[in-house]
């Protein structure tokens, strides 16, 4: 097995494990203490953003030429995984910074990359991704947001829904229809700035989980932007959006891994301390079987996710399948593992005094966003290796 190059790429290298130690230490010291409060108050985890920026972990994917760390896809996965282990809301800072900025990195002009990736790398701005609309979720090509050319400008009108970190991010990758006759091939991508005239935001959604990450509508009312803010050529926006998701679905898998790992770690500690019938409940075979199943599912999800990260880094031809598979499997596993963690804590697991109920609520969204798991199965079926 040692001679199999692909196998070696799936296993984290020594520097990846060192990175894990650094991120875990930071997450436990500077993010975990605020996780319950962030959830309870439904507020943005500013402490996490400050800590991640100070450690240059907020957008590790940005190439070195634009002032970033130039981290590979697996390193990005590890950062998100370790932050999500203590606070899922905070893990959306590095995850959505990648989601929002990757279209620029993949398809933007050199000038656009310098203009927007450099401030992101410095921690001066965050990036969000605007694809979904009130009537265009799974059918993203059915969007209605329009961009109309006016000389050296484009004028955007429409509504984007379910936008993560909306109102906090300075920059937004916005998909809009430039040619209604061409459906997906008539969609183009643009960079919109928070300060552009005509940009506003709806009230924060009242969500089941990830309460610390604001989810809001983005309103575009005659937003006039220079033509050079188009990402790539006209009509290529939808292709860029789908290419982006091939890579970033792996980061949602990473988030699911982290949430599940946090729940498993807490449950393991609890069952060793909790006594019933005169001994720790960890000594009971029924409990042991539950923990074994949780750990097995988690490790299977991790291996699939790391394999997908390696394929993302290499841009393999089967990335679309593996990205969808990793996101789907890891998020389903996270939902099962967090539910079992709540069960292992019994009545205590059902209260907000313990973190596993928050982890269970947070895990649910990983089955829904960046494409529901039903859509992931469609994607996989169409791209069978």
Determine which one of 81, 82, 313, 370 is catalytic: 370
Burial 49-83 (b: 16+ CB within 10 A, else e): bebbbebbbbbbbbeeebbbbebbbbbbbbbbbbb
> Kindly report the CA angle at 226 between 224 and 232, in degrees rounded to 5?
115
C-beta atoms surrounding 44 within 10 Å: 20
C-beta atoms surrounding 113 within 10 Å: 20
Alpha-carbon distance 379 to 385, whole Å?
A: 12
Best CA proximity match to 213, nearest among 357, 47, 88: 88
Catalytic residue check, 370: yes
Phi, psi of 283, deg, nearest 5: -80, -10
C-alpha distance from residue 134 to each of 140, 161, 217, 256 (Å): 10, 6, 9, 26
Best CA proximity match to 380, nearest among 308, 299, 275, 315: 308
| Burial of residue 91 (number of CB atoms within 10 Å: 0-12, 13-18, 19+) | buried
Alpha-carbon distance 80 to 89, whole Å?
A: 11
Token representation of residue 3: 């001679």
Token representation of residue 152: 């050296």
Q: What is the largest CA-CA distance in the chain?
A: 80
Alpha-carbon distance 360 to 351, whole Å?
A: 12
Alpha-carbon distance 99 to 251, whole Å?
A: 9
Would you name the residues annotated as active-site residues?
370
């Amino acid at each position: 097995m040692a001679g199999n190059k692909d196998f070696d790429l799936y296993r984290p290298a020594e520097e990846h494990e060192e990175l894990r130690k650094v991120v875990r230490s930071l997450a436990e010291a500077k993010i975990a203490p605020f996780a319950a409060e962030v959830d309870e108050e439904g507020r943005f985890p500013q402490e996490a953003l400050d800590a991640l920026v100070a450690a240059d972990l907020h957008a590790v994917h940005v190439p070195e030429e634009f002032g970033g760390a130039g981290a590979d896809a697996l390193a990005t996965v590890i950062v998100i995984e370790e932050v999500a282990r203590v606070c899922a809301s905070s893990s959306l800072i590095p995850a959505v910074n990648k989601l929002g900025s990757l279209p620029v990195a993949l398809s933007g002009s050199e000038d656009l990359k310098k203009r927007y990736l450099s401030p992101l790398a410095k921690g001066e701005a965050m990036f969000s991704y605007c694809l979904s609309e009130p009537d265009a979720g799974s059918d993203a090509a059915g969007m209605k947001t329009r961009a109309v050319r006016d000389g050296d400008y484009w004028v955007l009108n429409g509504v984007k829904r379910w936008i993560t970190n909306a109102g906090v991010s300075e920059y937004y990758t916005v998909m809009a229809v430039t040619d209604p006759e061409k459906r997906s091939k008539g969609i183009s991508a643009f960079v919109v700035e928070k300060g552009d005239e005509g940009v506003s935001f709806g009230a924060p959604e009242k969500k089941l989980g990830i309460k610390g990450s604001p989810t809001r509508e983005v309103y575009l009312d005659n937003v006039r932007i220079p033509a050079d803010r188009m990402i790539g050529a006209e009509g290529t926006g939808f292709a860029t959006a789908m290419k982006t998701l091939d890579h970033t679905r792996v980061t949602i898998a990473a988030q699911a891994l982290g949430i599940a790992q946090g729940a498993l770690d807490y449950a393991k500690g609890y069952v060793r301390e909790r006594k019933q019938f005169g001994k720790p409940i960890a000594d009971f075979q029924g409990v042991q079987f539950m923990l074994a199943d949780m750990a097995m599912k988690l490790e299977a999800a991790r291996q699939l996710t790391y394999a997908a990260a390696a394929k993302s880094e290499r841009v393999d031809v089967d990335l679309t399948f593996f990205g969808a598979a990793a996101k789907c499997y890891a998020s389903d596993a996270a939902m099962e593992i967090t539910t079992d963690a709540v069960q292992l804590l019994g009545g205590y697991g059902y209260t907000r005094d313990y973190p596993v109920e928050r982890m269970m609520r947070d895990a649910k969204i990983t089955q829904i966003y960046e494409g529901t798991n039903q859509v992931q199965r469609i994607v996989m079926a169409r791209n069978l290796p």
